Amino acid sequence: MLAPILMGLVGGQRAMTPLATVSIAAARGELPADNGALKILARPTVAAATLALAIAEMAGDKQKTAPDRIVAIGLTARFITSAIAGMALAPRRQRWAAAAVGGVTAVIASYPGWRLRMAAMDHQGQTPTGFVEDVAVIAAAATIIRRRDQIVDA
């Protein structure tokens, strides 16, 4: 269950990144055949759409009008996308538990992530802190996929 937890931590910071990451991995055939991923995630058009949504979210995050990640719709999106990602990263027999773990982790992780970002924004501003967070989130998500086998065996 470590991979769904880690992806949930990512989802707590960016709602669409977990879904885009697992969809791209599924479309590339990088997830094992026995995973709990929804078959639709492996379609190239879905991978492209989720990537576009992730990019749009990252761009929107830099806007002054961007809502806090802890508003209800943001938490709901984080739960859903991280739950789907958790399913994709777990063996099929554990997919529902992995979904719950990924989704709940994302919601919980949203709060300390939000507080850290607010504190950083006071000193560095919204755009620079957003870019730093984007880099960290993308690197973490890519590492989770790349090292999935090692994470699952841990």
Helix (H, G, I), strand (E, B) or coil at 35: strand
Q: 53-76, pLDDT tens digit by residue?
A: 999 999 999 998 999 999 999 999
pLDDT value at residue 37: 82
**What average pLDDT does the chain have?**
94
Helix (H, G, I), strand (E, B) or coil at 91: strand
pLDDT value at residue 153: 55
Q: How far is CA 70 from the centre of its chain?
A: 15
**Residue 57's domain spans which residues?**
2-153
- pTM summary value: 0.92
pLDDT value at residue 7: 97
pLDDT value at residue 12: 97
pLDDT of 152 over the 70 cut: no
Those residues whose C-beta lies under 8 Å from the C-beta of residue 24, and which sit 6 or more positions away, are 47, 50, 51
Nearest Cα neighbor of 11 from 88, 95, 105 is 105
- Structural domain tally of the chain? 1
For 98, counting Cβ atoms within 10 Å of its Cβ (0-12 exposed, 13-18 middle, 19+ buried), the class is buried
